[in-house]
Amino acid sequence: MEKPWAVILAAGAGTRMNSSLPKVLHRLCGKPLLWHVLAAAQEVTDKQVIVTGFGEEQVRDYFGEKYLYVRQDRQLGTGHALQKALPYLPDQGEVLVLCGDTPLLEGTTLGGLITHHRKNKAAATVLTAVLEDPAGYGRVIRDPSGRVEKIVEELDADEKQKAVREINTGSYCFDLGPLKKLLPNLPINSQKGEYYLTDLIPMLLGAGLQVEGYRAGEPSFALGINDHVQLSEAAAVMRRRINEKLMRSGVAMIDPASVYIDAGVEVARDTVIYPQTILEGETKVGEGCRLGPGSHLVDTVVESGVVCRQSVVMESRLSEGAQVGPFANIRPGSLIGPGVKIGDFVEVKNSSIGRGSKVPHLSYVGDANIGSGVNMGAGCIVVNYDGKKKHRTVIEEGAFIGCNSNLVAPLTVGKGAFIGAGSTITRNVPADALSISRSRQENRDGLARKFLGNKEEK
């Protein structure tokens, strides 16, 4: 049997978000709300139609042209939104109708909805959930046999109906034949001046068709996002899902509640993540790494066996067996080679550091290419900016840079060269050369007393 289509309703402005950004583009664990809905839909549907309105250009710019977009110029309710998409849907088959602000939906839940719909040969199946506190949601009213009889919005519900804890989640599976026949005749709600998709239920029942309700077990999927409070609540659920999935795949977390991992992150088995660690964007972590405590990695590739403690790494690559931190800052465009050591209070920017090299502490490496086996002593600075332009520095294999040295770019330090501590180097240094640039030390006996005076008298 062919997969259904999906229509995702994403036209709303989201006024309660109090933001210029379309609601469906607000991020949950690193991805827009709509991205999560589409990801779930793509697991079980063939094609996806996005109904846009507010912020249409921003939505299209983010998701590209692989989806079919339908514009709803005036937001006149969920029924009106589906009416706009109706001409683009086939005449036969099934369609899932989903809300773009329900990011906790999962493909397994939607798969269960489709299976229930087909098994019961329904014209429509409503995805429902049972909540401890159903306030704010439409109630699903069933007849004595358990069939869906109607959906009553909370404002229209009497006390008995308000006591019902089964709610309409806003997700549906429809047979396209009856939908195409009846939806164009959907009546407008006289009080609100909008077309509600829930009003299609009595129309289907009145035509002698069957309406089912599929009650999913975990109710958190029903959470819709209308403000930043609900967004934070959904983020807590999503983070727990992400962390539990990783731990079941072989990743160890010392304190999962304090670890924040985005939806686009990949982590391989036998990696240990310590408390207060954040992995964002498209970060990918190999096997057997040790991350944290207190590390923050964004859009970074981490190869196997890396140790990264209390450090920030942005848009870079940490090669196999590298050690970073504590308190290092790896800025975008950096390649930290295999077995490299980047120690405490070291900043690296747009630089490559070759196999086995060491920058142990208190140094700045910017716009540099450092070969393998290089040692940079404490306090070394690669001076990359002349006030107008940035220039590159090359330090070749096996060079030794003494403590508190300044390398003023553009500059090349040759293979095996030795820079004396405290030097400021402004010209290229040949291979195997010793380079020292500093004032000669002078010791003058007895002059300290003249400058300092008699300490005992003070």
- What pLDDT, in 10s, does the model give residues 292-347? 999 999 999 999 999 999 999 999 999 999 999 999 999 999 999 999 999 999 99
pLDDT tier for residue 109 given thresholds of 50, 70 and 90: very high
Instruction: Copy the structure tokens of residue 446.
Output: 């007895």
Of 155 and 6, the structure prediction assigns the larger pLDDT to 6
In angstroms, rounded to a whole number, what is the distance separating the alpha carbons of residues 220 and 216?
A: 10
Instruction: Copy the structure tokens of residue 11.
Output: 């036209």
Angle of helix 33-44 versus helix 107-119 axis, rounded to 10:
40
Check residue 74 and report its DSSP letter. S
Q: What local confidence, expressed as pLDDT, does residue 226 receive?
A: 94
Range(s) for CATH 2.160.10.10 in the chain?
248-435
* Average pLDDT estimate for 359-367: 98
Nearest to 286 by CA among 308, 265, 298, 301: 301
Q: What local confidence, expressed as pLDDT, does residue 159 receive?
A: 92
Q: What local confidence, expressed as pLDDT, does residue 455 receive?
A: 60
Q: Which pLDDT tens digit goes with each residue over 235-265?
A: 999 999 999 999 999 999 999 999 999 999 9
Show which residues are catalytic. 361
Class of domain 248-435: mainly beta
* 3-class SS of residue 450: helix
Instruction: Copy the structure tokens of residue 410.
Output: 């553009």
Residue type, 367: D
* β partners of residue 423: none
pLDDT tier for residue 145 given thresholds of 50, 70 and 90: confident
Beta sheet of 375-376, edge-to-edge order: 252-253, 272-273, 290-291, 307-308, 323-324, 341-344, 358-361, 375-376, 400-401, 418-419, 434-435
Q: What local confidence, expressed as pLDDT, does residue 155 receive?
A: 83
* Average pLDDT estimate for 270-283: 99
pLDDT tier for residue 452 given thresholds of 50, 70 and 90: confident
* Average pLDDT estimate for 175-194: 92
Contact 401, 385 (CB under 8 A): no
CA dihedral 25, 26, 29, 34 (to 10 degrees): -40
In angstroms, rounded to a whole number, what is the distance separating the alpha carbons of residues 351 and 334?
A: 5
In angstroms, rounded to a whole number, what is the distance separating the alpha carbons of residues 233 and 239?
A: 10
Contact 194, 76 (CB under 8 A): yes
Q: Which pLDDT tens digit goes with each residue over 221-240?
A: 999 999 999 999 999 999 99
Q: Which CATH number fits domain 5-222: 3.30.70.1560, 3.90.550.10, 3.40.50.300, 3.30.67.10?
A: 3.90.550.10
* 3-class SS of residue 349: strand
Of 135 and 365, the structure prediction assigns the larger pLDDT to 365
Average pLDDT, the chain: 96
* β partners of residue 349: 366
How crowded is residue 396: how many other Cβ atoms within 10 Å of its Cβ? 20
Q: Are strands 424-425 and 347-349 parallel, antiparallel or unpaired?
A: unpaired
Residue type, 176: L
Nearest to 344 by CA among 329, 357, 361: 361
Residue ranges of the alpha helices (H) in 86-198?
107-119, 159-162, 176-182
Sign of CA dihedral 366, 367, 372, 376: negative
Residue type, 280: E
Of 305 and 447, the structure prediction assigns the larger pLDDT to 305
User: What is the pTM (predicted TM-score) of this model?
Assistant: 0.92
Contact 397, 372 (CB under 8 A): yes
Looking at the predicted structure, is the pLDDT value of residue 456 above 60? no
pLDDT tier for residue 454 given thresholds of 50, 70 and 90: low
* β partners of residue 213: 126
Sign of CA dihedral 87, 93, 99, 100: negative
| Weakest-pLDDT range from 45-54, 141-150, 389-398, 424-433 | 141-150
Q: What local confidence, expressed as pLDDT, does residue 189 receive?
A: 84
Contact 129, 216 (CB under 8 A): yes
How crowded is residue 306: how many other Cβ atoms within 10 Å of its Cβ? 26
DSSP 240-258: HHHHHHHHHTT-EES-GGG
Q: Which pLDDT tens digit goes with each residue over 65-81?
A: 999 999 999 999 999 99
Looking at the predicted structure, is the pLDDT value of residue 194 above 80? yes
Range(s) for CATH 3.90.550.10 in the chain?
5-222
Q: What percent of the chain has pLDDT above 70?
A: 99
Contact 416, 399 (CB under 8 A): yes
Instruction: Copy the structure tokens of residue 226.
Output: 């209308």
pLDDT tier for residue 361 given thresholds of 50, 70 and 90: very high
